[in-house]
Amino acid sequence: MEHRPRSFYVLTAFFCLFVLFLYGPTLTIAILSFQGESGGLTFPMRGVSLNWFRELFQQQAVGDIWGAFRRSFALGLMVMVTTVVVSVMAGLAFRKRFAGAGVLFYVTIASLVIPSILVSLGVGLIFGQAGLTVHWATSGFGSQLTWTLPFGLLIMFAVFNRFDPSYEEAARDQGASPWQTVRHVVLPIIAPSLIGVALFGFTLSYDEFARTLLTAGSYNTLPLEIFGMTTNVTTPVIYALGTLTTLFSFLIIGVFLLTVWMLARRQARLGSDAGMGV
Amino acid sequence: MNGVSRATVTGWLLASPLVVVLAGFLVLPIITIVVVSFWQTTEFAIVPAFSFENYEFLFGSAVTWKVFAATFRYAVITWALTLSIGFTVAYYLAFHIRSQNVQIALFLLCTIPFWTSNIIRMISWIPFLGRNGLANQTLLDWGMIDEPVEWLLYSDFSVILAFVHLYTLFMVVPIFNTMMRIDRKLLEAARDGGASGFQTLVHVILPLTKPGIMIGTIFVLTLVMGDFITVRFMSGSQSANVGRLISNDIGLLQYPSASATAVVLLCTVLIMIAILLRFVNIRKEL
């Protein structure tokens, strides 16, 4: 083992502190969600109970958490599928130079950096002036796409910048049509990255707040519901909810990462051995 | 084809879904905001007009200037903190971790919170910073303070803490990405040339990492400038920034006034980005 410089140990300590800073608060509310029945929002723990989780599953005094969860889940899936399809198409488009590509690229970047509240306000105004009712599945859906699509497209850029075009040339030389080339050569190669795009699409939608605020209408998504709770719920039930949704997020992230890992392994196993010989 | 090349047609066809979404939910909404910012508010409704009264009111009010100043202050402090922390973390991951698997694992450890809920991550500071929170208890136990400190939660301190907590990842990821592309031979050359570790960091790594720093800077500045929820929640509604000015007007159904503020905010952010983009070519960095 090579000798490590002292800076390595200092930086390791710094990194550990950073990770503690990232996860510490989340762990704190996870512990506090098991607070005893007479306990409050802060330590000390007054006993240990599942009281606050039980309360989540009972008839709600305020709001409709499970309805909000179902809506957020459905919306997350809608946004996920749309983000993957639209990003791949746009990613393919940007591989070739076309007139106006630069403008479209900058508009996409603008979509990423524009203050979210402007999207919320603008979409809300359009629907209001057109006499339409805002709804999470229409205006909310579109607003969230302005946040997820730029991420999707940027990932596609990163993917295609590293993509070896000789695979496509080979397919073309074998007589594959452009569609066959995309379907049987390009898509299978970029599949693991598409899982990444899907992960961004789902999680960013599932947690999105600012762009959905004025565009979700009378049926709240989960983040809106949770934010509403912060103003009128003063018991650890909000920690129990926070813990459950965070666990759910971790589960989703785990499933996605596992899929990427398995796809990558499969590719490595079944991939070509061209160029491997001596 | 006459004039229009085939590549252009194919390009726009493939990009058409993206164009539809961006046109309908980004460009059109912004045009609407600009138009509405010239409208007038009566007692009962908002009426189409071409009036500068919203802007006159906005620029004539001392509150506006104070709130914009506060917003810039949040942005600059958060930027400085996220940059120093993010750079250090990225540097550690890129140059001190030798096993690629460990590197990927630690990188994921840093990015996973990005995929969880911001609201919950804000709420989770309450038991930490509150009057009877962990921080106060610990300081009391250690005898460093005699009575609980009040400014930990619902203050500018907690606002900036939350910003740093939420947005440092936006620095770590692009800086790490740029660092991983630095040719390791350059570091060897620096060492052979007799540079100390610190000199290599300042004269080789730092200049080569500039594009990543710029991208991270764009993210952090625009997120903080446009924020309204972190400031509202973490300051307990006691501090203001531009985003809150807009959301308060929306709450009062003062859409023309909210739109005017939004237009000014948008111009400010776009000018900042235009300046930053002079230092970096985003598409080359992906």
Domain-embedded: residue B22: no
Percent of chain B with pLDDT over 90: 47
pLDDT tops 80 at residue A270: no
Mean pLDDT of A46-73: 80
Give the closest-approach CA distance of A175 to chain B in angstroms: 20
Place of tokens 């359009």: A126
The pair phi, psi for residue A48, each rounded to 5°, is: -125, 135
**Confidence band of A3 (pLDDT split at 50, 70, 90):** confident
Higher pLDDT, A38 or B167: B167
Residue A29 lies in a domain: no
Residue B164 located in a structural domain: yes
pLDDT given for residue B3 in this prediction: 58
Domain that holds residue B154: 61-285
User: Is the residue at B172 inside a domain?
Assistant: yes
Under the banding of pLDDT at 50, 70 and 90, the label for residue A13 is very high
Interface check B128 vs A, CB under 8 A: yes
Domain assignment of residue A107, yes or no? yes
Q: Which residues, at least 6 apart from A40, have a Cβ–Cβ distance to it below 8 Å?
A: A46, A235, A236
Question: What total of structural domains would you count in chain A?
Answer: 1
Number of Cβ within a 10 Å radius of residue A12: 14
Mean pLDDT of A220-240: 84
B171: in domain:
yes
Q: Do B123 and A242 touch (CB under 8 A)?
A: yes
Which segments of chain B have a pLDDT < 70? 1-4, 43, 282-286
Q: Is residue B233 part of a domain?
A: yes
A9 pLDDT more than 80: yes
Percent of chain A with pLDDT over 70: 95
* Residue A116 with chain B: CB contacts under 8 Å: 226
Instruction: Give yes or no for residue A29 having a pLDDT over 50.
Output: yes
Does residue B4 form part of some domain?
A: no
Tell me how many domains chain B contains: 1
B158's CB contacts (< 8 A; 6+ apart) are: B125, B129, B152, B234, B235
Average pLDDT along chain A: 87
Nearest CB among A129, A149, A249 relative to B115 is that of: A249
Tokens of A96: 């070739």
Residue A275 in this model has a pLDDT that exceeds 60? no
What is the DSSP pairing of strand B46-47 with strand B40-41? antiparallel
Quote the pLDDT of residue A273: 58
User: Whole domain around residue A199: which residue ranges?
Assistant: 64-232
| Chain A nearest CA to B62, separation (Å) | 23
Instruction: Tell me whether residues A24 and B128 touch, CB distance under 8 A.
Output: yes
CATH number at residue A178: 1.10.3720.10
Contact A140, A68 (CB under 8 A): no
Looking up residue B223, the CATH number of its domain turns out to be 1.10.3720.10
Q: Which member of A11, A15, A86 has the closest CB to residue B21?
A: A86
Helix axis angle, A65-95 relative to A222-232, nearest 10°?
A: 140
Could you tell me the pLDDT band of residue A79, with boundaries at 50, 70 and 90?
A: very high
Residue B67 lies in a domain: yes
- Measured in angstroms, the CA of A80 and the nearest CA of chain B are apart by 13
Residue B123 lies inside a defined structural domain of this protein: yes
